[in-house]
Structure 1
Amino acid sequence: MERFIKAISSPGAKGATAGVAPTQRVDLGAVVNLSDDSIAICMENSEKCEPVFKKKMLDRYLDKVVHVAGSGYVFVLVMSILLVWAFLGIKFGKEEMWQVVISDFQAIFCYIFDSFLMRQQLVGYEMHMTVAACLRSRNVSNTRMLRQMVEDCKSEKISQIEYLDQDMIASEFPKINWLGRLSNLVATVTGHAVTVGLYWVCIFIWIGFGHHCGWSNQWQLYINSATSALMVFVFVFLENIREQHRQYSESCMALIHKTDAALELRLRTITGDTIDNEPVVIPGPYVRRIQRGIYYYADVVGTLVGIALMCIVVIIWLVIGPAMSFDANWWLIIGTYTGLIGMTDGFILRNVFYHLGLHEDESFDQVRTEDLAMYDLIGVSPPCEDEVQESGFSYRISAAVGWFCSHEVVALFGAMVMLGLLIGASVMKWSTTGQLLCNVPPSIIETFFMIILITSQNMADAKRRALLFNIYKRRRYLLLYLNSRTICDEK
């Protein structure tokens, strides 16, 4: 019984993250009498330098599905479906059943991609936290060996680093391909404050026509179809840019780990140190009760339990179809369920992205602090860092809206809105109008949250690219320093 209680209560707990960098063993025959190409030699002989991420078989399969969902092939396929839908809408667009079916397709599609996006977020968080712990693990050993080296050579003159050209360092770092650059441009335009403003202008224009259209079901279906198409695009695009960023980050971190391991190997050669790298534990973020509940929900959705629940609902929905004569109300039921849940997921996604991202930033800030301490130890100025411009009206507006929408109280408000819509639909006896009440507002709200999530994602990606480049540059110059200084007693 205790095991069962522990299993169902464990989701939502963002505990400590432990990591240990693989210890580099000195091969004297390979690294003594290093030539001018010693950096390359060290890096070539730095085996098993990356941390190993162990996952259960089900998690591996789920991650593969998420990777495929974010691929360019799926993006092109979904865009093609949207174009076909738009052309067919010229002929069938005025039919109520046509718009209801399209609304159902959009709701189910976005419901599934909600789970994929949540899993991307949670897996990315675990990976970044583990990477930060491993970098700090090797920093402990490198700091110890640098201190020993300085003490042994305090009577010797230590040369300063002759900094390499910025372009030369940048040329060594992974490049963003043309598709990534195009996606970043589209993300910048899509998530721009002006775009968000235009979105709400269109919504208010639609509301303005409500009286002229008699507040009819057809009037509601018009905006539902428009936001459905936009939401499908936003979801698949967000999934795609996240997948591209994951691949790019992994290539950057692979180079960082290799350079970091080369730095450790070089220090062990100089000092003769054989002490294994020690594990580093990064404490989990402080979480209040409401936020813990949000994380719990996110963990359930991120393990795709939500999709399993949706499958059960779909089966029940199909079973009751004959009893409802497969009418418009029957078609709307599945859209109502997925629409309400999807709106809640939009609130949760925005919240989780912001709060887990803060903890990741704090962890990498600690890595930076330890890196700079090593430069202080050897009395050398660290290289200048790349920075992302955090100014401009659009940036400030986007950042403010993102911060506000990420608050746990706003996420709680989203749940209250869902409850209110359910009560309203029940009062209307779940008629077509009542169900549209549960489809249209959630569709409008969720689309807005996904658009501002693109803005935040774009900002976070730019910061993370600069952060990774700075981490690499600091290690690259330390390694250059070790191979250009006067060695007083190389063992």
Structure 2
Amino acid sequence: MGSIKKFFGNPGDRPGIRFQATIPEQLIPTNVEIIDDDEKNINNNNNKTNKDDTNIVHDSSITKNEDTESTICSLSDGSTTFELSNFKIQSNKTFDINKSFTGLHKGYMDLILDKLVFFAGSITAFFCVWVILIIWVVVGAVYNAPFNWQVVMQDGQSIQCYIWDTLLMRQQLCSSHEQILVCCNLKSKLDTFKRLVKEIHEKKLLRNNDNESTTKATMMMIDTDIASSTDPIKETGKNLDSDCPCQDDEVFDPSTLGQLPIENWYDRISNYSSTIIGSLITMGLFWICIAVWIGCGAIPQAGDTTAPFTGDYSGSNPKYKKFSNAWQMDINTAVAVSLLICTTFLQNIRARHDKFIAGILLEIFEKDEHIDIMLRRKLNDYTPHKVIVIPEAKRTWLQKTIDWYADVIGTGIGVIVAIIVFGVWIGIGTPMNWGDDWWLIIGTYTGLVGFIDGYVLREVYDRSVAAEEVNYNEVIAEDLELMQILGIPNPRDMIDSLEEQNSRVTKTLKYRISAFVNKLCSDQYSVVCGVLIVVALICISSGMKWSTTGQLIANTPTMIIEEFFLIVLIQAHNWADVQRRLEISTVLAHRHLIEYHITKMLA
């Protein structure tokens, strides 16, 4: 059973993470022999490992052997047989990770999906969407918007959303996994930095004091003060030097923190569009439009001859019907166009956000490497970084089921299922004479599946954001603890400004209403409600023998709710992305201060 599960990619698994930061390459001796994991295992199994040999696996760490005075490099934690997670940020600002969120190494399908995710957020995909829309509008104008013309848009949009849901889910799961590894990397290095800075302080005290007991008592007092500190953001009472990087640098300016860079007109349009779409006003207008549409359905309309109507409203065509198929197709077409545009903008915003975060992280890691080199060379200390262990998160059985479905969507399994479904749909075209019902089948299927996907996307995203928030708060707290050890006054003005700005936003009525709607839509039991709605619609459509009207009844409410959920998802992304960019920028600001003071301390 385990082999079968692994074959399908371990869907639903969220194993714990073990991570150990690497030591800078500049500190690794040039005479070491570097071998990979497989070769190391072969050597161990054959008992041919020489004590003088040096092995590097996964993460490079270095220890100093006092007896042989030889340097030993090891990437994995020697106390465990578990393979450590590892990652690298490429020059194109994408992550290269050895293990995915399900605990398995990435395969070819994963790499292909990652490339598709990157393409979906590009300006090329944006232009493709608008070219398709323009062609569709022109064709409708030429042929007077026939029924099949609307069905084509609905089918095309449903298929596009079906594919985009796969890419959005994968992007969401991968991004959350990447940020957990980033926090592990920062924590692993911060632990070393605090230990080495304490040793430097201790050696200085030993040189300046003849009484060893006094020195130890002083160090105990320092440790006690740090451990008993209930407010890591508390001022130390010291002043920054005039040449210290401070508020003059852009990275310390609260007004610029968290903002995405705008490189062209497309970025500007994307920013404005995501802000407008993901707003409470848009939510209100959306439901007002739906109410108006429902009211219009009560007006008898010509063009549907499935049932006679006794009244004569035109004098020529006595066949009218309220809430007709054409009436349903009108809202389906409008929502289809809206979904097509919204998913494109959301994918772009996510891609730009990930690129922005990766760029800041590259700068943070560069400064961490410089700090690591300075401290280790000063103390001639090459002890491995601490192994950070993130245990598997506690989940309810319902959340495990949701994660299983999310993995089916965001992995190669979803692609295989989609290919089979599309193949079957095309195969039944001839028996169904390629008629209206056949055209609607694929739209109905993708619409119902996309409806459930919307609930799952919201629930999984809400949990991911909450976990990332905890990890980054821990990183910032450790940053501030290191600054206390260094005697650096915390950037209180910047933090106060950010907290004040956040407080002003969260206290507004608009934010509270939006937050309530977001929380309600992202609850795990909302997914259950979505499934029950789909089951009910399938029963109704089956009772109507999946006729055109029956399929439209299954399509219409799901598309409306799916569009609403997309608006909610865009709003949630806007809030969470801004918060994450603020936190990453704050960590970078801390690195500027820490690097400056350590450089000055070691001078």
TM beyond 0.5: yes
Deviation per CA, 1:179-205: give whole Å up to 9, x if none: 445422221111111011101110110
Which of 90, 97, 110 pairs up with 2:148?
97
Cα distance change, pair 26–112 in 1 and its aligned pair in 2 (3 A): closer
**8 Å CA contact retained: 1:22, 1:50:** no
CA, structure 1 residues 255+49, in 2 after alignment: closer, same or farther (shift >3 Å)? farther
Taking structure 1 as reference, are residues 145 and 49 closer, same or farther at Cα in structure 2, changes over 3 Å only? farther
1:53 aligns with 2:97: yes
Q: Which residue of 2 aligns with 1:188?
A: 275
Which residue of 560, 582, 589 corresponds with 1:444? 560
Instruction: Give the share of equivalent positions with the same residue, in percent.
Output: 33
**Structure number, greater radius of gyration:** 2
The list of structure 1 runs, each at least 4 consecutive aligned residues, that deviate by more than 6 angstroms after superposition, is: 155-159, 171-175
338-347 or 298-307: which moved more? 298-307
CA–CA separation in structure 1 for the residues paired with 2:190 and 2:325: 63
**Cα distance, 1:160 vs. partner?**
5.6
1:343-374 per-position Cα deviation (integer Å, ceiling 9, x unaligned):
01011111111111111111111111211221
Shift of 1:330: 0.9
Pair 1:316–1:330, CA change in 2 (3 A): same
Q: Where does residue 417 of structure 1 map in the other structure?
A: 533
Distance 1:160 1:263, change over 3 A: farther
CA contact (8 A) 1:21 1:49 kept: no
Give matches, 1:52-451, under 5 Å.
53-54=97-98, 55-92=106-143, 94-154=145-205, 161-162=240-241, 163-170=244-251, 176-179=261-264, 180-213=267-300, 214-384=322-492, 385-386=494-495, 387=498, 389=502, 390-391=505-506, 392-451=508-567
Between 84-93 and 412-421, the greater mean CA deviation after superposition: 84-93
CA contact (8 A) 1:224 1:440 kept: yes
Are residues 237 and 9 of structure 1, via their aligned partners in 2, closer, same or farther at CA, if it must alter by over 3 Å?
closer
Please, which runs of 5 or more residues in structure 1 have no aligned partner? 29-47
**RMSD, aligned CA:** 2.6
TM-fit CA distance, 1:220: 0.1
Secondary structure of 1:13's match? Answer: coil
User: How far apart, in 2, do the equivalents of 1:469 and 1:201 lie?
Assistant: 39
| Residues 1:175 and 1:227: Cα distance change in structure 2 (over 3 Å) | closer
Which SS does the other structure have where 1:285 is aligned?
Answer: coil
In 2, Cα distance between equivalents of 1:406 and 1:300: 19
Q: 1:281-308 CA deviation, whole Å, 9 max, x = no partner?
A: 1223221011111111001100042232
State whether residues 251 and 588 of structure 2, in contact with CA within 8 Å, keep that contact through their aligned partners in structure 1.
no
Q: Quick one: structure 1 residues 119 and 156, their matched pair in 2 at CA, closer, same or farther if it must change by over 3 Å?
A: farther
Structure 1 residue 50 displacement after superposition: 5.2
Contact 2:155 2:439 in 1 (8 A): yes
Q: Alpha-carbon deviations, 1:15-48, whole Å to 9, x = none?
A: 22222221136669xxxxxxxxxxxxxxxxxxx9
In the aligned structure 2, how far is the partner of 1:225 from the partner of 1:450?
A: 16
The count of residues paired between Structure 1 and Structure 2 equals 469
Distance in 2 (alpha carbons) for counterparts of 1:250 and 1:132: 13
Q: Calculate the TM-score normalised by the size of structure 1.
A: 0.89
Q: Which amino acid aligns with 1:457?
A: H
Measure how far apart 1:156 and its partner are.
6.5
Judged with a 3 Å threshold, the aligned counterparts in structure 2 of structure 1 residues 301 and 50 are, in CA distance, closer, same or farther, namely closer
CA contact (8 A) 1:18 1:130 kept: no
What do residues 25-77 of structure 1 show as CA deviations (whole Å, max 9, x unaligned)? 6669xxxxxxxxxxxxxxxxxxx995762243332222011101110111122
From the superposition, tell whether residues 49 and 288 of structure 1 become closer, same or farther in structure 2 (CA, over 3 Å). Answer: closer
Bigger drift between 435-444 and 77-86 goes to: 77-86
Offset of residue 263 of structure 1: 1.5
Q: Which residue identity is paired with 1:375?
A: M
- Other-structure match for 1:15: 15
Q: How far off is 1:243 after superposition?
A: 0.8
**Alignment deviations for residues 99-158 of structure 1 (CA, whole Å, 9 cap, x no partner):** 112111111111000101001001101111111111111111111101111212237699
Q: CA deviation at 1:170?
A: 2.1
User: Which of the pair has the greater relative contact order for Cα pairs under 8 Å at 6+ separation?
Assistant: 1
Q: Rate the CA distance shift 1:245–1:471 in 2: closer, same or farther, 3 A.
A: same
Aligned match of 2:588 in 472, 477, 482? 472
Q: CA deviation at 1:7?
A: 5.3
Contact 1:103 1:335 in 2 (8 A): yes
Q: Which residue identity lines up with residue 187 of structure 2 in the other structure?
A: R
Moved more, 171-180 or 124-133: 171-180
Cα gap change, 1:320 to 1:27, in 2 (>3 Å): closer
Q: C-alpha separation between the residues in 2 aligned to 1:405 and 1:170?
A: 35
The structure with more helix, counted as a fraction of residues: 1
